[in-house]
Chains A and B, each alone.
Chain A
Amino acid sequence: MELFHPRQDIPFMRHALWFNAVSLLTFVAAVLFLALRGLNLSIEFTGGTLVEVRASEAVALEAVRDVLAQAGLREAQVQNFGSARDLLIRLPHLGDGESAQAGERVKALLSQVPGANFEVRRVEFVGPQVGKELATNGLMALAFVVFGIVAYLAMRFEWRFAVSAIIANLHDVVIILGAFAAFQWEFSLSVLAAVLAVLGYSVNETVVIFDRVREVFKQRRGKMDTPAVLDHAITATMSRTIITHASTLAMVVTILLFGGETLHYFALALTIGIVFGIYSSIFVSAALVMWFGVTREDLVKPAKKKEEAVV
C-alpha cells in the first residue's frame, strides 16, 4: 500500500511567499492575543490554591460560590470539568500563613453546601515565591533548548540552517502560546513541558528535510537550483512526514481522549504543536533557507576540506 507518492516534485517553493504570508499572519495574531489577553497562568506560576472535588450529586456552581463568598473567599473560581459532579476550585494567593490552610478551609466550607457530599480528590498549593522560580526556570529551559539546538544544527549543517530551523520552531511555540492566550486555556507546568517537547520534536522534522537537502546537493552536483532541491527534498520525505506525524498524533489524541483533566491541556498543546510543526518545517524553515540564499557550495565545502586533509 502506498498513500503518498507524487510522480513529480511538488513546487512548494514557487508559492513560498504565500505560505510565508500565512504564517506571518498567524504569528502576528498569536502575538496580539498574547499581548492583549495574556496567558491564563495556572496556580503553579501565580501561587494560590487549587482544590479538585467530586460531589455525590450534581451541584449548582452558584451554591458552591455562595458558600465560599460568604466565608470571605470572594475571589474563588469555581468550575466544572468532565462532569457536573467534578468541580475545580481555584483560590488566589491569600497572604502568608493563610494560604497554606486554604485547602482545609475549602474542605470545611464545602460541608455547608446543601444537597451533596464532597470527596476531595486533589489539593495543590503553591507559594508565590515558588511560582516565580518556576516561571524563571521555564524561561531558562526555553533558552537552553534554543541555544542547544542552534549550536548542534550549526555544527552538523550550517548556521543558516540552524537559524531557519529555530525561527520556524519558535514560530510554532508562539502559535501554541497564542492559542492558549486566545482561548484562555490554562497554562500549567505540564503545558510548558509539552511546548518544549514540541520544540525538540518539530526541529526533528526540519532536520529530516535538511538532511535530504544536503544529500541532494551532494548528489546532483549543481544541476538543480536551490528551490528545486528544496522541492525535491520535501517531496521525497513527504510520505514519511505524513506517516510519522499521523502516528505521533494518534498517540497524542489518545492522551487527549483518555488522559483526563491533568493531561488535557498538555495533550492539546502537543496536538497544536505537531500540526503546526509539519507546516512550519515545510513552509517556513525550507523557505527561510531559500531566502537566506544557501547554495550547494555552503554544504559541500566541508567535505572537500576533509579530502584535502587526508591527502
Chain B
Amino acid sequence: MNRYPLWKNLLIAFVLLLGAIYAAPNLFGEIPAVQITPARPGAPFDARSLAARLEPKLTAAGLTPQGFLFEAGALRVRFADTETQIRAKDLIEAELNPDPEKPEAIVALNLLPGTPEWLARLGAKPMYLGLDLRGGVHFLLEVDMDGALTKRLDAIAADLRSLMRAEKIRHQGIVRNGRLIEARFADEAAAEAARRVIAKNVPDLALDVTAQGETVKLVARLTPAAEKTLREFALKQNITTLHNRINELGVAEPVIQQQGTDRIVVQLPGVQDVAKAKDILGRTATLEVRLVDDTPGALEEAIAGRVPPGTELLYERNGRPILVKKDVVLTGERLTDAQPGFDGQTGEPAVHLTLDSAGARIFRDVTRDNVGKRMAILLIERGQAEVITAPVIRTEITGGRVQISGAMTVEEARDIALLLRAGSLAAPMRIVEERTVGPSLGKENIERGVHATLWGFAIIAVFMIVYYQLIGLYSVVALAANLMLLVALLSLLQATLTLPGIAAMALTLGMAIDANVLINERIREELRLGVSPQMAIAAGYERAFATILDSNVTTLIAGVALLVFGSGPVRGFAVVHCLGILTSMFSAILVSRMLVNFTYGGKKRVAHVSIG
C-alpha cells in the first residue's frame, strides 16, 4: 500500500532532474560583454580576423578580454567587470569607427549569461527578463494606414492620367476623392475605352461607370484584396526599415514585432536616450535608381579628383568606387515590392522588384535606350548615398517586373531585397505607447520581486513544518519543487519575465500550497475517524484530488482569460500564473506523495503519521 511503481518514481525523478538542469542557468548571473556587428546587415564581416585585430590592442590598454564568442555576423567579447567593459567599448568604437558619420561596425554593450558551457550545450538559458527588470525603452508604434492608402491612391491617380495620355483617351479630369478616384469623360464611348484600358493595366482597381448629367463618371476604388496587400506590405516594410535603423542604435537585443494589423512593438533593452531613439525611428531614407557612367577612363579621372560634370563618385558596399550620373531615373516611391528569389532560367539567386505602372513605363524606356550599360540602385540616408548594387542591363524590361541577378549568393540576394524594401517607410508612424524604465529601477524591481517571493516562501515553510511536521516538510519540498519547475519552464520557453510575472510567481506559490493543505487536512480527518494510517494517507490523497482539480481548473480559466485578452503587464502576469498552476498540480500531488510513500509506504505497521 502507498507505493508508486518504479516507473512512476523514475518519471518524477527525471522531471525533477530536467527541472534542476533548466532552472540552473538562473543562478550564474551575467557577464559584461561588448557586441560588434556590421553596420549594414549582410556586409562582409570576418569575426575571427576582427578578434585577432582587437586582442593585442585591448591587452595593451590593460583591458584583457576574458574570451571571444564567434557567431554568424557578430563578435562578442567578454570582460571581467562592467568598468573594463565600458572602457573597452570606447576603445573598440574608436578603433573600428574613426569617422562616426560612416560607421564600419555597431558596437554595443551587452550582458551575456554566465551559464557554464555544458549547460548551454543542453540548451539551458536563464529566464528572459522584461524591460521593467533590465531597464530600457518600449514603444508601441501605429502605422498610419489611411496615410499609406492616400499616398498610394494619389500615385495611382497620377498613373491613370499618364495612361490616358499614352492611350490618347480624352478626359475631363482625374482626381482622388477620399478613398475613390474619380475620372470624368465627355461621352460613354470614351469612358468605356478608359475602363477597358484601366482594367487591363491596373488590375488592383474596381471600376464603375455612371452617367451624370452632361458627363460620364468613372469611379475607381482599390479592390479589398489590393487594399489588404497594401496594408500588409506597409507594415512589413516599416518593420524592416525599423530593423535597419535600430541596428544603428547599437542595441544588443532589440525586439521588433508586429502587433495586431497595424501596430509595431519596439523594445530596446538598455537604451536610455529616448530622444535619440525616437529621432532615429522617425527618420526617412530614400532609394534612387541612376545610370552608371562607364566611359573608359572617367572613373580613374574621378578617383584622381577630377569628377566629370553631371556625375558623382560613390562607393559600392564592398568599397569599390563607381561613377554614377546625377540624373535620377526612378525613386523608391515607384517600388512596390522587393523579394529575394531565383532566376527562372539559370537558377541563380536573384532579387525580384515590382514597380508601379508609371515606374514600369519609365523603366521600359530607360532600359530600351541603355542596353549593355550599368544601372545603379542607391540608398540615401542622412544625405549619404551608397550603391547597393549596379547590375548590367541585358534587355529592355517591360511590365514593371525587374530582376537583378548575377554573381550574388542567396544571402546577398536576401539582404539586397531587405535593403531595397527598407529604403523608406511605406507609411508614416506615430508612437501610441511608450514605457521607459531606468536601469537602477530595473535592478530594484528584481530585488523587490525576489525578496517578496523568498520571504513569503519562508513564512509558509515555517508554518507548514510547525503545523504538519514531517508531512508539512514534504509539502514544503513539493512547493520548492514547484518553484524550481516553474523557473525551469519559464527559462525553457524563454517567456518574458516581468515584475508582475514575479508577483504571479509569489501568488502562485501561495495558492499552490492549498493543494497540500487540502490533502493534509483530509489525512488528519481520516485519522480522526479512526482509519489506519496507511488507509488515511491513501484516502487523503484520493479524496482531495477531485477538489484540487476543480479548484485549479477554475483558477486556470481566469488565467487563460488574462492571457487571451491581456496585454503588457497583464500578460506577463498571466503567463507565469497559468504555468504555475500546471506545475503546482504536478509537484503538490506527485512529488509530495512520492516522499510520503518513501517514508510510510509498504511498511506493515505504521503506528503514527507525523502530521501534527
Binding site for B on A (CB under 8 A): 1-3, 44, 52, 96-97, 100, 103-104, 119-127, 129-130, 134, 137-138, 140-142, 144-145, 148-149, 152-153, 156, 189-190, 192-193, 196-197, 199-201, 203-205, 207-208, 211-212, 215, 236-237, 239-240, 243-244, 246-252, 254-255, 257-260, 262-263, 266-267, 270
Is B404 in contact with chain A by the CB < 8 A criterion? no
**In the complex, what distance in Å separates the CA atom of A248 from the CA atom of B467?**
16
Is B459 in contact with chain A by the CB < 8 A criterion? yes
Q: Please indicate the chain A residues that have their CB under 8 angstroms from the CB of B603 in the complex.
A: none
**In the complex, what distance in Å separates the CA atom of A52 from the CA atom of B438?**
10
- Asked if residues B455 and A254 are in contact (CB atoms below 8 Å), the reply is yes
Chain A, Cβ-Cβ closest to B464: A247
- Asked if residues A250 and B550 are in contact (CB atoms below 8 Å), the reply is no
Chain A: interface secondary structure?
Answer: helix
Binding site for A on B (CB under 8 A): 132, 140, 142, 274-275, 278, 430-438, 440-441, 444-445, 448-449, 451-453, 455-457, 459-460, 463-464, 466-467, 499-500, 503-504, 506-507, 509-511, 513-514, 517-518, 521, 524-525, 543, 546-547, 550-562, 564-570, 573-574, 577, 612
Q: Please indicate the chain A residues that have their CB under 8 angstroms from the CB of B459 in the complex.
A: 250-251, 254
Q: Please indicate the chain A residues that have their CB under 8 angstroms from the CB of B546 in the complex.
A: 211
- Asked if residues A103 and B556 are in contact (CB atoms below 8 Å), the reply is no
Q: Can you list 9 A-B pairs, Cβ within 8 angstroms, ordered by A?
A: A1-B466, A124-B436, A145-B558, A240-B514, A240-B518, A248-B507, A248-B511, A255-B507, A266-B503
**In the complex, what distance in Å separates the CA atom of A106 from the CA atom of B398?**
56
Q: A123-B435, A192-B570, A259-B448 are in contact. Are A130 and B557 (CB under 8 A)?
A: no
- Asked if residues B555 and A251 are in contact (CB atoms below 8 Å), the reply is no
- Tell which of A44, A137, A263 touches B499, judged by Cβ atoms closer than 8 Å: A263
Chain A, Cβ-Cβ closest to B508: A251
Q: A141-B565, A197-B577 are in contact. Are A126 and B274 (CB under 8 A)?
A: no
Q: Please indicate the chain A residues that have their CB under 8 angstroms from the CB of B455 in the complex.
A: 254, 257-258
- Asked if residues A141 and B452 are in contact (CB atoms below 8 Å), the reply is no
Chain B: interface secondary structure?
Answer: helix
- Asked if residues A130 and B438 are in contact (CB atoms below 8 Å), the reply is no
- Asked if residues B550 and A263 are in contact (CB atoms below 8 Å), the reply is no
B129 CB, min distance to chain A CBs, angstroms = 15
A125 CB, min distance to chain B CBs, angstroms = 4
- Asked if residues A141 and B566 are in contact (CB atoms below 8 Å), the reply is yes
Q: A121-B440, A247-B460 are in contact. Are A267 and B503 (CB under 8 A)?
A: yes
- Asked if residues A144 and B561 are in contact (CB atoms below 8 Å), the reply is yes
- Asked if residues A122 and B503 are in contact (CB atoms below 8 Å), the reply is no
- Tell which of B433, B464, B552 touches A127, judged by Cβ atoms closer than 8 Å: B433
- Tell which of B441, B521, B524, B554 touches A153, judged by Cβ atoms closer than 8 Å: B554
- Asked if residues B547 and A207 are in contact (CB atoms below 8 Å), the reply is yes
- Asked if residues B577 and A263 are in contact (CB atoms below 8 Å), the reply is no
**In the complex, what distance in Å separates the CA atom of A282 from the CA atom of B444?**
40
Chain B, Cβ-Cβ closest to A153: B554
Q: What are the nearest 3 A-B pairs in CB distance?
A: A200-B558, A251-B510, A127-B432
A56 CB, min distance to chain B CBs, angstroms = 13
- Asked if residues B448 and A122 are in contact (CB atoms below 8 Å), the reply is no
- Asked if residues B555 and A260 are in contact (CB atoms below 8 Å), the reply is no
- Asked if residues A119 and B438 are in contact (CB atoms below 8 Å), the reply is yes
- Tell which of A97, A104, A255, A260 touches B506, judged by Cβ atoms closer than 8 Å: A255
**In the complex, what distance in Å separates the CA atom of A70 from the CA atom of B573?**
40
- Asked if residues A193 and B573 are in contact (CB atoms below 8 Å), the reply is yes
